[in-house]
Structure 1
Amino acid sequence: MSGPRRFPRIAPYKGPAGGYGSLRSVARILAEEHVPDAIVTLADQNKPDGYMCVSCAWGKPAEPQPFEYCENGAKATAWEITRKRVDQKFFETHTLAELAGWRDHDLEVAGRLTMPMRWDSATDKYRPVSWQQAFNEIGEELRALQDDPDQAIFYASGRASLEASYMFQLLARIYGTNNLPDSSNMCHESTSVALPESIGVSVGTVTLQDFESVDLMLYLGHNVATNSPRMLHQFQDAKKRGAAIISINPLKERGLQRFTNPQSPREMLTFSETQISDKILQVAVGGDIAALTGICKALVSMDDAAVEAGAAGSTDRKALLAQTDNDAGFAIKAAAAAATSRRVLDHDFIAEHTHGFAEFADYCRAADWAEIAQVSQLGRADLEAVAVQYAGAGKVMGIYGMGITQHVAGTQTVQMLVNLLLLRGNIGKTGAGICPVRGHSNVQGQRTVGITEKPELVPLDRLKEMYGFEPPCHEGYTTVTGCEAMIDGRVKAFVALGGNFTRAAPDIPRVEAAWSKLRLTVAIATKLNRSHIVHGEVAYLLPCLGRIEVDKQASGPQAVSMESSLAQFHGSKGRVAPASPELMSEPAIIAGIALAALPENAKVPWTEWVGNYSTIRHAIEATWPATFHKLNENMFHPGGIERPVAARERKWNTRSGKANFIVPTQMFGGTAENYRKAGVLQLTTFRSNDQFNTSIYGYSDRFRGVTGTRMVVFMNAADIAAQGFAAGELVDLRTAMDDGHERIVRGLQIVPYDIPRGCCGAYFPEATPLVPLGHHDLHAHTPAYKAIPVEVLRSTTVRTRPE
């Protein structure tokens, strides 16, 4: 597809996050999608009785802003309510071979899917098919694999509602498999593994209300202005109240620096800004465990110094303080603790509520400052200064994103952050806690209603009792093991509830090759994407209603529910007319497949559920009564329903019965054999300002000053010179791991950038072909899209002027 293309332009952006840049970007997307009345629709976004954003998972506040949406939230809405259509005429015009040459952006920007389609091998085009015929044929294909149900994968994207997700997991389990990977597998599975071991819950402990009294926020591995911009309102309010923010991130992202609130007339008229971070520590990619170890080591040293000072006589204290002057690392000279003999750590909390402190303290004492500095690329004095500030703060949050979780040691990194919070009792008290920032809008909620490959996380006995079937008890495929099974030929069918799996998965060339050999691919989707162009032998496109569209069923207009990053359940009501009268809702499509593929079962009221979604919510509550108490009655309550999280009350559902200090087994978050190897850089992937996950809204990353391209690699100027390259030069990146498969991305333009030495950055998903399936978290199987060892090669690619 041709469109307005131009040569790349690289120029620094001097503006803040938010401000007029945000307004211009929103205006552009609304014009491009031909939705001039979108402002009326956006007025209901994230309001208590409105619809929940289809973009990020931040919560719906009880007292919302007049415009409770961000730049990327507005773009996501514009793309869903666009006037553009991908209809029968579109597919009559284009073969899939032709569409395979389109850019990802061009596929999605073409518009909304309008009718069910089946791929026709004779013409290489999608052709219309009736809904019932599609269901019958999909059911026939799935029944043909019934001798081994694990030949089918049921994948869910993070946008599907609680209602659709509950039905989808039930469909898979009655079919006979726990193959239920979802987008959480690719982002925060490290959180879901780490937190239960550490504090006995799989979600964060922070609520929106906690931001009203927090003293210090430690913010790690997340780009707030791109991925969850509405958080900036909580940050700005906390800063004005006197709270501090310390950011630990490889890049000085603009949202971590300066913010102008577009909803404040005063700030917009006066061009005033809020400084978000009090300091930004640019940790090396993969260096977060080392940085957190340094902070914890400093705290333990300060506490030890206080004990020593208390044991010393008043005369000896002056000598002790003199010793700290001679040994700059001893307790940060610190002597505030030493002079008063006041303990730095919360030993009452540690004694009553934690397990494993002695071993963790010994780990901290033994940690070598030289190794900490080498791996993190942060100075000892900087880390000690963070420890001093942390020690002086009463209420502290640890907030983090995928820059932490998507490492080979992602689980251990999350647990190190928990360790830091436990040292001063910052779990289970108001204004403090652990806060994982989830990506897609209901990715956390899907897990809560059973979208998981782990059978031990689902009340299988309860499902058996309610629906009269024998649930499978063996573990299903994760994203990584599912891709391996596809490559090995063990998987024959892939049913996708949303998402763009082949673009989000690692090892893209190998996965796409395996994908095209599948017998069956089924996509429940709103828009066209790469995973629909690369398809199985038998392929169906089943277009569904979007969340913002009015969903009328037998009992009238329906509402759905979802869970935010902050473990609160919210209702959502559509408000615009459907893009096509032929669209079906996600619950209706799932029910259609289930009725065609599964044996008759009077205990599963598929048709009744579709007619009235409140009956699905009653079933959800019956399955998890403590978690979903009165979901139907209260889901539109301002602020939502707070999910019970035991750790908020300092109840620890762990094996030890307490919160656990867990000692890491490695200091570097990547693979040790590729660390510090000559000529190897540690690559991190990230999103641009103009995208959400795999949806590319445009080719402008204004915060990083890149326009017109996504084929760039951000490098430290010293690394560029050391390897003999120049700014603007085209290079190739090759994965520096030898597993028998060459992985290379060609034609990336070098952009000098403020990133630590030995590190580089490139966009997701353009750089994901460089990620081997074997490069994943060892505990959670999350693909490690960070700390990917790469070599930079001189490219033979020639950039030609676009058509």
Structure 2
Amino acid sequence: MTERAHHESYDQPVGGWGSAKSLLKHSTEQRALHTVSALLKDHNKTGGYMCTGCAWAKPASPHTAEFCENGAKATFWDLTSNRTTPEFFSRRTVTELLGWSDYDLENAGRLTHPMRYDAVTDSYVAVDWDEAFREIGEKLKSYPPEDVVFYASGRACLEASYMYQLLARLYGNNNLPDSSNMCHETTSVALPQSIGTPVGTVLLKDFEKTDCIFSFGQNVGTNAPRLLHSLQEARERDVPIVVFNPLREKGWEEFVNPQRPVQMLKNSPTTIATQYYQVRAGGDIAAMIGIAKALLKMDDEAREAGAARVLDVGFLADHTDGFEAFETLVRTTSWDEILIESGLQHAALEAAALTFARAESVIAIYGMGLTQHRLGVDNIQTLVNLLLMRGQIGKPGAGICPVRGHSNVQGQRTVGIAEKAELVPLDRLAEQFGFDPPRKDGMNTVEACEAIVEGRVRAFVGLGGNFVRAIPDRTLMEEKWRGVDLSVQVATKLNRTHLVTAKTTYLLPTLVRSEIDQQESGPQIVTIEDSTTCIHGSHGKFEPAADTLLSEPRIIAEIAKATLPPNPRVPWDSWVGDYALVRDAIEKTFPDDFRDFNARLDTPGGFPRPVPARDREWTTPNGKANFKLPGALSSSFDRGEDADILRLITLRSNDQFNTTIYGYVDRLRGLSGSRMIIMMNRDDRVRLGLTEGGMARIETAVDDGRHRSMGGFQVIDYEIPPGTCASYYPECNALIPLSHHDEQSKTPAAKSVPVRIHPD
């Protein structure tokens, strides 16, 4: 887009008429009005299909419309009437398509035929399915197993994910990076060390029982709008909601529920956040240490007065380890350090602590505003420390609640999509399928990128996603990607990854979850896991976009049959004919998580996997919930030594889901017309000699021998803490070095990138 951005404060609530108008606009543009009745009847409902958007929980008693604005957009884009056919490709070279925007590429519509890149004509040409599988299999058989990567986005169902991880391990590696590596891998590392589980402890019913909610680094209005129903109901019970986030996001401020006619007619919003603190990017640890310091002071005063303790001393003694060291750290950290690093006032942190102390049951929500930092693990573990201080894990209405992104990103890890061998029951797989699984850890996303840069990856198989667009150091990665020998992309729509071609590239078009998946035994059911560990069945309701499409399980099975030697214990064809047989295999591999799997598919609200920490069973080496000490008060790479270095937050608009761009109207922030903008604190902008509405160039402030710079950003004055700026993902990924990631999980540190900004 070459248009200039427009900025006008949005004075309407989240939801309401703004959301209704957006749905009408997008359903019309995609010629998908025929989907609206099914959205009301089947979307996120028992016996219906599960949304391909976010992973938020689906209630047992659903609302009339159990979908949000972004979930509906995802469905309209899945079920669009637009088609990307072989004729589309015959009229356009790949070089030409590389000049298209992300929006225009996906707006071209659903892929209909398998395609192979022809370097001579610089275009994609149709290929027969059997021929594609045969050629892919021949190539895969020619590589050493360690040179091949099997990537999975968070959209594939449990059945496809299980088959995919088995394909990789039968092939001979654990190179199974996934989209978790780019968002909540930090959670998967932090929580097991602290409480013995890699997932959250909160169920949807806990929101009905809580009397306090804290949130860190999560934009509910854009990333999990259906959570607003639970938040609204909590506020109507006078539950305080305390929010820490660098930007003031509309979703936390006010909400009009489109399913409440009186509220809609009056346009009378519910106030969501009762306390809102704009923490500096990377300053969450400091804020949490400040709250802990205030809690200790209150507890000291209570002891002196002979009053009830603020800390849950019984819980601390019986269930935790390491509190004394954490207490010492908190007491010896000065308020001056805390206030500088957090960017907040002393009184603000004391007020937050008082709210926390008065509550009987606290839920702590967090998102990628905590996970995507250099010390992301420390961010999460410090938040867990706060909860442990008052025994706020393992009781009704309380617990830790990571809000996951893509619809089955948590579930695919549950069924074996993991590069760490220790996370998968390899002995059970060996016995079940009669082979010796690889025991060496594979590559995560950052490690796969590093291997591609070094020329060590021969082939890349992608089960969904837009890998090259989603990863850091995009400019370098696009250059090195062309040296890969084989790229196989299972996809529903065209995206930029498909156009940055390897020496041989295949596009394999697949069904979407809302479409009828007809196999030998009839229409198939697939399953997904939501953010709260609940498993849901999903029944496709719409006719496929083309009769040439194959399901993901079928594509995986055909690649496996073309690549691997026959194994009578792996019935690929039978599995494709009846996904219930795949679920039987999943249950055999993971019996504790999937007991009576097929019998429980359509449990209203889903059936929850067991999480020991919900019952105060700590599956840590010492059998305790552990206090962990953060390595610093700031989780950013920037050490704060140069005032001209700002911390860049990359973020999403409400016209976007991950790398899918639905349009150029970020309505909830009052921005439209362009995504090439940089939001800045006015004082920073003036100090750096920039003009409001003028153009700027952003340079990464990293001395690693590689210059990263992007121009063409329009400067927007925005309410954002000093020293912090913000711009859109994935456009700014080229500014994030591959080396900038969480120290333990290697999750890219996209929420506090050190940058310099100059006039352009």
Query: TM-score scaled to structure 1, two decimals?
Result: 0.94
1:215 and 1:393 in contact (8 A); partners too: yes
2:700 and 2:755 in contact (8 A); partners too: yes
Q: Distance in 2 between matches of 1:74 and 1:456?
A: 38
2:236 to 217, 234, 240: 240
2:697 and 2:713 in contact (8 A); partners too: yes
Deviates further, 662-671 or 541-550: 662-671
Task: Confirm or deny that 1:13 pairs with 2:18.
Answer: no
Given residue 202 of structure 1, which amino acid in structure 2 is its aligned partner? P
**Cα RMSD for the two superposed structures:** 0.9
Match of 1:751 in 2: 716
- Cα deviations by residue, 1:630-674 (Å, 9 ceiling, x for unpaired): 1111121101111100000000000110100101111101125x4
Task: Confirm or deny that 1:287 pairs with 2:283.
Answer: yes
Q: Distance in 2 between matches of 1:656 and 1:160?
A: 36
Following TM superposition, by how much is the alpha carbon of 1:61 offset from its aligned partner in structure 2, in angstroms? 0.7
2:375 and 2:631 in contact (8 A); partners too: no
Secondary structure of 2:99's partner?
coil
Following TM superposition, by how much is the alpha carbon of 1:676 offset from its aligned partner in structure 2, in angstroms? 3.7
Match of 1:559 in 2: 525
1:57 to 45, 55, 58: 55
Task: Confirm or deny that 1:206 pairs with 2:202.
Answer: yes
1:48 and 1:61 in contact (8 A); partners too: no
Task: Confirm or deny that 1:742 pairs with 2:739.
Answer: no
Following TM superposition, by how much is the alpha carbon of 1:445 offset from its aligned partner in structure 2, in angstroms? 0.2
Following TM superposition, by how much is the alpha carbon of 1:601 offset from its aligned partner in structure 2, in angstroms? 0.8
Off by >3 Å, runs of 4+ in structure 1: none
Following TM superposition, by how much is the alpha carbon of 1:689 offset from its aligned partner in structure 2, in angstroms? 1.0
1:774 to 731, 739, 756: 739
Given residue 711 of structure 2, which amino acid in structure 1 is its aligned partner? R
Following TM superposition, by how much is the alpha carbon of 1:6 offset from its aligned partner in structure 2, in angstroms? 4.5
Mapping for residues 634-653 of structure 1, pairs under 5 Å: 634-653=600-619
Match of 1:89 in 2: 87
Following TM superposition, by how much is the alpha carbon of 1:675 offset from its aligned partner in structure 2, in angstroms? 2.4
Match of 1:794 in 2: 759
Given residue 138 of structure 1, which amino acid in structure 2 is its aligned partner? I
Match of 1:324 in 2: none
Given residue 214 of structure 2, which amino acid in structure 1 is its aligned partner? L
Unaligned runs of 5+ in 1: 310-337, 796-803
Task: Confirm or deny that 1:169 pairs with 2:135.
Answer: no
Secondary structure of 1:767's partner?
helix
Q: Distance in 2 between matches of 1:549 and 1:389?
A: 47
Following TM superposition, by how much is the alpha carbon of 1:724 offset from its aligned partner in structure 2, in angstroms? 1.2
Given residue 716 of structure 2, which amino acid in structure 1 is its aligned partner? V
Following TM superposition, by how much is the alpha carbon of 1:251 offset from its aligned partner in structure 2, in angstroms? 0.6
Match of 2:422 in 1: 456
Q: Distance in 2 between matches of 1:89 and 1:8?
A: 35
2:4 and 2:714 in contact (8 A); partners too: no
Secondary structure of 1:364's partner?
helix
Q: Distance in 2 between matches of 1:532 and 1:449?
A: 27
1:410 to 362, 366, 376: 376
Secondary structure of 2:33's partner?
coil
Match of 1:491 in 2: 457
Following TM superposition, by how much is the alpha carbon of 1:139 offset from its aligned partner in structure 2, in angstroms? 0.6
Mapping for residues 212-361 of structure 1, pairs under 5 Å: 212-307=208-303, 309=304, 338=305, 340-361=306-327
Given residue 28 of structure 2, which amino acid in structure 1 is its aligned partner? A
Match of 1:687 in 2: 652
Mapping for residues 454-603 of structure 1, pairs under 5 Å: 454-603=420-569
Unaligned runs of 5+ in 2: none
Given residue 690 of structure 2, which amino acid in structure 1 is its aligned partner? F
Following TM superposition, by how much is the alpha carbon of 1:437 offset from its aligned partner in structure 2, in angstroms? 0.1
2:553 and 2:576 in contact (8 A); partners too: yes
Q: Distance in 2 between matches of 1:535 and 1:651?
A: 49
Match of 1:702 in 2: 667
Following TM superposition, by how much is the alpha carbon of 1:41 offset from its aligned partner in structure 2, in angstroms? 2.0
Q: Distance in 2 between matches of 1:433 and 1:498?
A: 32
Q: Distance in 1 between matches of 2:611 and 2:641?
A: 41
Task: Confirm or deny that 1:193 pairs with 2:171.
Answer: no
Task: Confirm or deny that 1:378 pairs with 2:374.
Answer: no
Q: Distance in 2 between matches of 1:121 and 1:724?
A: 47
Q: Distance in 2 between matches of 1:354 and 1:10?
A: 49
Query: TM-score scaled to structure 2, two decimals?
Result: 0.99
Q: Distance in 1 between matches of 2:362 and 2:33?
A: 43
- Cα deviations by residue, 1:162-191 (Å, 9 ceiling, x for unpaired): 000000000001101111000000000000
Given residue 195 of structure 1, which amino acid in structure 2 is its aligned partner? L
Given residue 15 of structure 1, which amino acid in structure 2 is its aligned partner? Q
Match of 1:323 in 2: none
Q: Distance in 1 between matches of 2:11 and 2:301?
A: 45
Match of 1:328 in 2: none
Given residue 39 of structure 2, which amino acid in structure 1 is its aligned partner? L
Q: Distance in 2 between matches of 1:655 and 1:112?
A: 49
Mapping for residues 72-87 of structure 1, pairs under 5 Å: 72-87=70-85
1:718 to 654, 675, 683: 683
Q: Choose 1 or 2 for highest CA Rg.
A: 1
Given residue 745 of structure 2, which amino acid in structure 1 is its aligned partner? A
Q: Distance in 2 between matches of 1:153 and 1:301?
A: 52
Given residue 731 of structure 2, which amino acid in structure 1 is its aligned partner? E
Q: Distance in 2 between matches of 1:41 and 1:744?
A: 46
Secondary structure of 2:57's partner?
coil
Match of 1:124 in 2: 122
Q: Distance in 2 between matches of 1:537 and 1:156?
A: 21
Q: Distance in 1 between matches of 2:65 and 2:350?
A: 41
2:5 and 2:677 in contact (8 A); partners too: no
Secondary structure of 1:37's partner?
helix
